[in-house]
Amino acid sequence: MRKRPTYPTFQAAKDEANIVVNRLGNADADVLTLTSADRSAYLRARQLLDPIGAHIENVAAEFVQAKRLLGQVPLLQAVEYYIKRLRWILRRAQSRQWWGKCSSSSKVMA
């Protein structure tokens, strides 16, 4: 996010502008140089992440946390297991609710 500083006087703003110009002229600016392969990898990552609104830094941090917890288990394998287990739990809960409704309605009929 860009910030737009304000200065009390024109001279103060001009002094700050001169400092910035000097920094840029002295190569103090942070510049990243990428190899062709790194650039391609970055662009492909953006292509994959942009549709879901994810940022590379956040995805990398979450992946590292997940790998620390999972060890040698591949992340996708863990996610697939979790989804399968969650579906089983939900089906079981729905089944219990259904049986609960059936038993309570049979008591009403009796």
The encoded tokens of residue 103 equal 């038993």
What backbone phi and psi angles, to 5 degrees, belong to 30?
-75, 120
The encoded tokens of residue 97 equal 């609710």
Residue among 52, 54, 79 nearest 67 (CA): 79
Q: What CA–CA distances, in Å, run from 64 to 16, 27, 44, 58, 74?
A: 40, 33, 20, 10, 12
pLDDT at 88: 87
pLDDT tens-place values along the chain, 110 residues long: 667 778 888 888 888 888 877 777 776 556 677 899 999 999 999 999 999 999 999 999 999 999 999 999 999 999 999 999 998 888 888 877 766 666 665 555 55
In the chain, domain spans? 34-72, 74-110
Q: How far apart are CA 61 and CA 59, in angstroms?
A: 5
